[in-house]
Amino acid sequence: MRPAIQHNVGPHHLFNILRVFHTEKFDELQLQYFVVSSVDKAFDESGIQVYLLQKTFPEFSSFLDKKRYNGIRPFANYLSHVYSSTISALRPFKDQMISLLDDVVLIVNHMAKVNGVSTFSCLYTLLNEYEEIHLQVLCHSKKMESLSPQFLEMVENYRRLGMKLPEIFYTDNVVGDQRFLKGVISPLDKDAVPVARSNKKNFAQDITYLSTKSRFRMMRLLLSAMIANQLMKLIRCCMMN
């Protein structure tokens, strides 16, 4: 039932599907019964038994006959009750299994408003690679330093449960957040190679330019006709070689 529910097949649609399956099975058995009885009757009529014994076949059972076929069509309310009861019974087990999963990727998501009203500055949400929420805080500032108690508590929960700490963190402010994140989540700094910052005053001197050999001639083509002309020359040159 769960795959059907996940594909927008609700209890009413599932009831109709089961009804079709049950009625098709009933029609198939009824057809087999009629075919077998007609063949048996034809065999009897070919011999002398037809004069000695008139063979009769009982009528095939109706779909709702409880003593014979006893067809069952579970109603939508019953299917909904079965599904809800099953999920309620399995939910604690599923939650326990999910809590034991190690996640090495964290993704941050910012939301500026709650229900369209600027009650808080943002709703800070932290997800793992399974899109499960591991931290969600309504805060008055987007600065990561204001979330230090929540991050430390999350890391402590990881260690208490024996889970592996995150190794990758996705954020939209890498330069501004990296110092705070490395301070609260130590594995983020493991095997990390820092990139040296360029001096803005001598930015042009820090850039490494590509050089070409003297036998190559550089051209800048601005028009599509010029580009097409040079491409045709290149194609002809390749065909000749």
Of 5-19, 71-85, 160-174, 223-237, the poorest mean pLDDT is in: 5-19
- Pairwise CA distance, residues 103 & 131, whole Å: 10
98: exposed, middle or buried (Cβ count in 10 Å: 0-12, 13-18, 19+): exposed
Phi first, then psi: what are they for 123, rounded to 5°?
-105, 105
| Percent over 70 (pLDDT), the chain | 73
Please say if the pLDDT value at position 77 is more than 80: yes
**11-44 pLDDT per residue, tens:** 778 888 888 888 888 888 888 888 877 765 555 5
The better pLDDT of the pair 212, 225 is held by 225
Task: Give burial (CB, 10 Å; 0-12/13-18/19+) of 120.
Answer: middle
∠ CA 57-63-68, nearest 5°, is 60
Ranges of H-type helices in 185-216: 203-206
Most confident of 87-101, 192-206, 227-241: 227-241
What's the pLDDT score for residue 141? 75
Q: Mean pLDDT check: name the lowest of 118-122, 125-129, 146-150, 233-237.
A: 118-122
Cα–Cα distance between 104 and 95 in angstroms, integer? 19
CB of 166 within 8 A of CB of 188? yes
In terms of CATH architecture, what is 105-189? Answer: 2-Layer Sandwich (3.30)
Residue 202 corresponds to which tokens in the numbers above? 């001598």
Nearest residue to 39 via CA among 59, 55, 61, 27:
55
Closest Cα to residue 155, out of 124, 169, 134, 170?
134
Residues in the chain: 241
Domain map of the chain by residue range?
2-94, 105-189
* pLDDT (0 to 100) of residue 237: 85
What mean pLDDT comes out for the span 54-70? 77
For the chain, the average pLDDT equals: 76
Q: Is 144 exposed, middle or buried (0-12, 13-18, 19+ CB in 10 A)?
A: buried
What is the DSSP-derived secondary structure letter of residue 211? -
Q: Please state, as a whole number, how many other Cβ atoms lie within 10 Å of the Cβ of residue 147.
A: 19
Buried b (16+ CB within 10 A) or exposed e, 206-216: eeeeeeeeeee
How much is the pTM? 0.37
Is residue 177's pLDDT more than 80?
yes
pLDDT band for 52, please (50, 70, 90 cuts): very low
Residue 114 has pLDDT above 60, yes or no: no
